[in-house]
Structure 1
Amino acid sequence: MRFSPLAVSANVRYAYDASRPVGDRVLPSKVLIGGTPLDAGRTYRVAALAYTLIGADGFGALSGFTDPVRGSRDYEAFRAYLQASETVAPPALDRVTAL
């Protein structure tokens, strides 16, 4: 299986170790959201493509989601975002770090 780290929002940073077993590569202590460490006892709302949420691309970790909210289709939402944005700049490249 090929390892492909997920891209994250601009306010999220994490480190991973690709040599660790699948399901144990990202340590919760290495995840920061808005500069605050991830709280494993807290519930978070995650936005993702429907394809990713159902595990169709191999990321089964998100398949246990609850209380889904469905807006427009992924393509339509992305297109609307691009149309509403005068300029779209790439995010910082230092948000995901390999250990």
Structure 2
Amino acid sequence: MNILRLLVLLAFLVAGLVVGSLNSQRILLNFGVTEVVTTTGIAIVVALLAGVLLGGGLVVATTVIPLHARLRRASRVPAAPAPMPEADDIRPPVPYREGD
């Protein structure tokens, strides 16, 4: 399984390098307060990475964390009830004697 993950990682890395190298035109990104000069390939890769991170964060925050909390509550062992005395253990109260 680790080899498969490594191969998928390498495939995406190569795809990112290909996109970055094929799109080498300079662009100016204006954010209102600052400007960034970069290439279109880097802008595309950064935008895709930001989308993946934001989407993954939203999925974790809205689905994974609540399901994990529900699973934790469901798997919690309920407290054992206090044992009830047996019928043989029930004795009448001892009368109070004066002088003791």
Relative to its length, the structure with more helix (as a share) is 2
**TM (normalized to structure 2)?**
0.20
Using structure 1 for the length normalisation, give the TM-score.
0.20
Higher strand content, 1 or 2: 1
Structure number with bigger Rg: 2
